[in-house]
Amino acid sequence: MSTDTAPPRSTEAAGSPGPVPVSPLSLWAGDVATVTWRNLIKFRRNPEILLFAVLQPIMFVLLFSQVYGGSIQIEGGNYTDYLMAGIFGQTVLFGSTFSGYQMAQDLKEGMIDRFRTLPMHDSAVLFGRTNADLVLNGVSVVIMMISGAVVGWRFHEGWLSFLAGVGILLLFSYAFSWVMALLGIIVRTPEVINNASFMILFPLTFISNAFVQTDNLPRALEVFANWNPISALVQAVRELFGNTGAAPTPDTFPMQNPILTTVAMSLLMLAVFVPLAVNRFRQASSR
Amino acid sequence: MAIIEAHDLRKTYHSRSGDVHALAGLSLTVPEGTVKGLLGPNGAGKTTTVKVLNTLLRPDSGTATVAGVDVLHDPEGVRRVIGASGQYAAVDEHLTGRENLEMVGRLYHLGGSRSRERAKELLEQFDLTGAGDRPVKGFSGGMRRRIDLACALVNNPQILFLDEPTTGLDPRSRLGLWDVIKDLVAQGTTVLLTTQYLEEADYLADDISVIDHGTVIAEGTADELKAQVGGHRVVVTLVDSADADAARAVLERHGTDDVQQDTGGRTLSVPVTEGPGALQHVLADLASADVRLHDAGMRRPTLDDVFLRLTGREQADDTASELEESA
């Protein structure tokens, strides 16, 4: 029965010459940068990840603008202009689910165990994940804008407003990445994450103003759509790009104040899900 | 002095089918510079023990120190002095071997240039320089294990945790990895090893703890454990199973216990008191009974026998019995 009566700390002597003392914050930032770099390498070596992120929205752009474009009338505008904000919203929403898929995958494959035996900051794994997915989403949005431009989409409110629109898309996608990352840690099965998010997010984007004006929807769905956070995001982007057309904006708070709603909603998601995910991550370890 | 000490570790998993006591009061001591083998059937608690000691898992109760650092109170202090290599290779498939090593170096806060240097050194040491710039995805099982082990060595750890390091490897890769581990131990690294392979524990470990149902049920060197089971056995393999009865009669005459016959009926064995002498007598009697032999020898108890005796069940992965040539 030996109690640990203060053994001399011979432990620090081991290993290579100790690193120069650095501030905890820069150590943390270094960890985040390393993990982000690791995740980006995976994107670079597997271009199909990006391909799958944009393939479906590109198909949507073509189908909606070419098939429905003629029959859907947008007062004081054209349908292609109107459609693209919805496509951008859909792209970043689905793009963010990758954070959950990849967290589950890393847990499953034992990468998380590796990270957790290293003297790095736990939260760096999550920040590295969401940062890399933000880059992926950024690239996807650019590709979608090019696709939109090809079928005739244009923004009309000037560059500053355009950049604000891009910023709001990315802010939302980053915040939503954290929600998905937490789900990935809890669910732990990449395939389940994929299927479940598809089943929830698909109707969510359709019962919104992403592809149609909500006043065309049945009453119950119209109410839902006008309060749907996806609608707020799409409306905000639509306003900033000058793609709303002349139809009156539905009379709900999120629709009347879409930019405020989207920014507030994104910040709220970050405030809740960053600490929640980090905390949950500390308890997680592959079985 | 003990560099790893665990005292009365307990961990219970609650599941629908009832509580599982993964650790039920497990205690363990590993002296500095030695190799400790944790041996036990699947689900005995080997991996759970390692995960507690390398800070991946918090026990429900109990205490543990690694290199004098308390595992529960200062996990980060522990992480600085250990290296861990998992059951399945926890390396990033999409990164090259070199990138994996560099990443680990950076996360140990070695800095960029030192991380690159260290990656280069390890690739050379592990004979992976040629493959080092290819994504790990294309590596063979053996190369993957080597890069995984290399990742665990980036910080020159005092203590190395190896959780089933050679599971699933072909014999040649296994031998290669054993050599690497032997070298590390020769340089003074303390190793805690879990394994399914009894011969692996026999070959690598100075000291073995047999674990079952979350506690240590036996401890000692491989020889000490074998001695617990008993002395030699004489084993003969017949050319023709028709001779089985004659052979059985001879073995019964010289043995101290029941004769065991394998399912094919051609291999028979019996425990004996004095190995070489008994073997000589058996062979002489078999020759005069005109029984033709395919093989004959003396076998010391293997860890398989130890296992069977201690846990009452056979090791899942049946390793080949070691037939010892009689000198």
Mean pLDDT of chain B, nearest integer:
86
Q: Is the pLDDT of residue B197 over 90?
A: no
Tell me which residues of chain A, numbers 200 to 219, contact chain B at a CB-CB cutoff of 8 Å.
none
Optimal mutation site among B106, B133, B137, B161, interface A, most CBs of chain A within 10 A:
B106
Model confidence at B317, in pLDDT bands (50, 70, 90)? very low
Q: How far apart are CA A140 and CA B189, in angstroms?
A: 48
B68 → closest Cβ in A9, A16, A22: A9
Is B86 at the interface with chain A, CB within 8 A?
yes
A15 touches B: beta carbon within 8 Å: yes
* Cα–Cα distance, B303 to B298 (Å, whole number): 16
Does residue B327 register a pLDDT over 80?
no
Say if residues B78 and B69 touch (Cβ distance below 8 Å): yes
| Chain B from 273 to 312: CB within 8 A of any A CB | none
Test A15 with B151 for CB contact under 8 angstroms.
Answer: no
Residue A116 distance to chain B (closest CA, Å): 7
Q: Is B217 within 8 Å of chain A by CB?
A: no
List pLDDT tens digits, range A189-240. Answer: 999 999 999 899 999 999 999 998 898 899 999 999 999 999 999 999 999 9
Q: How confident is the model at residue B226 (pLDDT cuts 50, 70, 90)?
A: confident
Q: 3-class DSSP state for residue B312? A: coil
pLDDT above 90 covers a percentage of chain A that reads: 72
Q: Output the CA–CA distances (angstroms, integers) from residue A229 to A184, A205, B40, B248, B282, in the order listed.
A: 22, 10, 54, 83, 87
Q: What is the pLDDT of residue A2?
A: 41
Chain A neighbors of B83, CB-CB under 8 A: 117
pLDDT, tens only, A269-285: 999 999 999 999 987 75
Find the radius of gyration of the CA atoms of chain B: 23
Query: For domain B2-226, which architecture applies?
Result: 3-Layer(aba) Sandwich (3.40)
Question: Which residues does chain A have within 8 Å of residue B151's beta carbon, measured at their own beta carbons?
Answer: 114
| pLDDT confidence of residue B120 | 96
- For residue range A248-264, what is the model confidence (pLDDT) as tens digits? 889 899 999 999 999 99
Indicate if B232-299 has the same CATH topology as B2-226.
no
Q: Which residues of B touch A128 (CB under 8 A)?
A: none
Region B87-94: mean pLDDT is 81
Q: How far is Cα A188 from Cα A106, in angstroms, rounded to an integer?
A: 9
Chain B stretch 119-148, residues whose beta carbon is closer than 8 A to a beta carbon of chain A: 135
Task: Give A183's contacts (C-beta < 8 A, 6+ positions apart).
Answer: A100, A193, A197
**Higher-scoring residue by pLDDT: B100, B223:** B100
**Token pair for B200:** 């692996």
Nearest CB neighbour to A34, from listed B56, B81, B107: B107
User: Top-level CATH class of B232-299?
Assistant: alpha beta
Is residue A159 over pLDDT 90?
yes
Fill in the amino acid letter for A140: S
- Over 90: is that where the pLDDT of B292 sits? no
Parse chain B into domains and list their residue ranges: 2-226, 232-299
Mean pLDDT, chain A, whole residue set? 89
| Contact (CB, 8 A) for B32 and B190 | yes
A91 pLDDT tier (thresholds 50, 70, 90)? very high
Helix axes A159-187, A229-241, angle to 10 degrees: 160
Which pLDDT value is given to residue A21?
Answer: 64
pLDDT band at B243 (very low <50, low <70, confident <90, very high): confident
pLDDT reading at A287 higher than 80: no
pLDDT of residue B149: 92
Q: Which of A224-228, B29-33, B88-92 has the lowest mean pLDDT?
A: B88-92
* Nearest-by-Cβ selection for B107 from A7, A109, A118: A118
CA distance B72 to chain A (A): 13
* Distance from the B73 Cα atom to the nearest Cα atom in chain A, whole angstroms: 13
- What letters, b where the CB count within 10 A reaches 16 and e where it falls short, cover A145-161? bebbeeeebebeeeeee
**What are the tokens at B90?**
């926890």
Higher pLDDT, B310 or A61: A61
Residue A182 CB: number of other CB atoms within 10 A? 23
Residue A149 has pLDDT above 90, yes or no: yes
